[in-house]
Amino acid sequence: MLAYVLRRIGAGLVLALLVTLVTFLMLSLSFGDVVRTLLGQSATPESVAAMTKQMGYDRPVLVQYGDWLLHLLRGDLGTSVYTSLPVGPSVVQRLAVTLSIIVPALLITVLLSISLGVWAATRGGVADRIAQGLSLVGYIVPGLLIAIVLVYLLAVRAKLLPATGYTPLSTDPAAWLHSITIPVIVLVIGGVANMAAQVRGRMIDELRRDYVRTLRTRGVSTTSIVVRHALRNAAGPALTVLSLEFIQMFGSALIIENVFALPGYGSYAFNASLQGDIPVIMGITVFGVLLVTVVNLGTDLANGWLNPKARLH
């Protein structure tokens, strides 16, 4: 088991190395633009050359990457070209904001999806049609539109919740709850639309399997068959969807943070990219890969726990 975890972590490190290298190589194409943006339109070729040298962009790209990597190993992600703030702490701070939206959204998505999916799969008929209708609506309306409509209705019209802004949990829990409510609702609607349909489909498949019939012939109760057996077997595939959903939410969070003016990971990445702030972009990439690796490892371990056949490998 330990060997497996170590191997997976090793694979994650290789992945991180690869992704950061590729990102760095691609970004190096635009180093010239970065310098020009920094100095403004009126910069002379001489000052551009001087700046390029000062920032070390004149060295071979691989040397620059190696340099960056060495600093990374010492826990130093550098400083922002524009604000001169250290990248590491900034990214962590921004990530905390994004996670404080995504984690609640994910938990609610799981609970709602399982309830809705199991309800649809075990009741059939009207219940199923309602559940499918709900999923469909969540699926066909772009999240962007849902976000704006909710802001308009709940914040602008009803004035129930703040339209924009973020209050950290440590400052004021009630205000924090208010500030994340609409963003979380938007993420949940999109997430449930996808997950509930998956849970429903898996449950229908499981409930039609032979072993379910055999359990019934032994007098096992319906609740046990649905929860202990069918849901347990449906959980593995649903978990994989969930991990993808989690990563997907990071993408969605980008737009949501923009709509709600939240100082999160996505908006940080967006601004850095817009400005060409190379150290920040690289820092964001590192944390992105780290997150992906952790989520995937968690999914695989949970899958191994759920599925005895997978445990062998």
Partner 1 sequence: MSTRTRTWRRLLRDPQAVVTAGILLVIVALGLLAPFLAQHGPNDSDLGMVNAPAGTPGYLLGADESGRDIFSRLLHSINTSAVSALIGTGVALAVGVTAGLVGGYFGARTRGATEWLFNLVMTFPGLLLLIILMPVTGGDYRFTMLIFGVLLSPGIYRIVRNLVLGVKNELYVDAARVSGLGNTRILGRHVLSVVRGPIIIATAFLMGAAIATQSGLAFLGVGSKEIPSFGDMISSGFRNLYLAPAQFLWPSLLLGLITASLVLLGNALRDTLEGSRPKPAKVGQGQRTDVRTGPAPVAGTAALLEIRDLTIAYPGPGGESREVVRGAALRIDRGQTLGLVGESGSGKTQTAFAVLGVLPAEAVITRGSIVFEGRELVGLTDGEMRPLRGKQIAYVPQEPMSNLDPSYKVGAQLVEGVRSALGVSKQEARTRVLALLGRCGIADPPRTFDSYPHQLSGGMAQRVLIAGAVASRPKLLIADEPTTALDVTVQAEILDLLRDLQAELGMAVLLVTHNFGVVADICDHIAVMSRGEIVETGDVQKVLNDPRHEYTRTLLDAILDDTTVRTDPPPGAITEGADR
Query: What is the footprint of partner 1 within residues 205-264 (CB under 8 A)?
Result: 205, 207-211, 213-222, 224-226, 228-229, 232-233, 244, 247-248, 250-252, 254-255, 258-259
Query: Residue 57 interacts with partner 1 (CB under 8 A)?
Result: no
Query: Residue 148 interacts with partner 1 (CB under 8 A)?
Result: yes
Binder to partner 1 among 19, 38, 72, 169 (CB under 8 A)?
A: 19
3-state secondary structure at position 79: strand
Query: Residue 139 interacts with partner 1 (CB under 8 A)?
Result: yes
283 vs 95: CA distance, rounded Å: 11
Residues 6+ away with beta carbon under 8 Å from 141 = none
Q: Give how many residues touch partner 1 by CB under 8 A.
A: 83
- 87 and 79 Cβ atoms separated by less than 8 Å: yes
- 254 and 267 Cβ atoms separated by less than 8 Å: yes
Number of residues assigned to the chain: 313
Which CB atom, from 7 or from 208, has the smaller least distance to partner 1? 208
Site residues for partner 1, 269-288, by CB under 8 A, read: 269-270, 273-274, 276, 281, 284-285, 288
Binder to partner 1 among 125, 170, 174, 313 (CB under 8 A)?
A: 125
Which CB atom, from 150 or from 170, has the smaller least distance to partner 1? 150
3-state secondary structure at position 86: strand
Site residues for partner 1, 167-186, by CB under 8 A, read: none
Site residues for partner 1, 92-121, by CB under 8 A, read: 120-121
Q: How many CB atoms lie within 10 A of CB 194?
A: 19
Q: Is 252 exposed, middle or buried (0-12, 13-18, 19+ CB in 10 A)?
A: buried
Q: Is 234 exposed, middle or buried (0-12, 13-18, 19+ CB in 10 A)?
A: buried
Q: Which stretch binds partner 1 (CB under 8 A): 43-51, 61-69, 84-92, 136-144?
A: 136-144
Q: Which stretch binds partner 1 (CB under 8 A): 58-66, 84-92, 140-148, 165-173?
A: 140-148
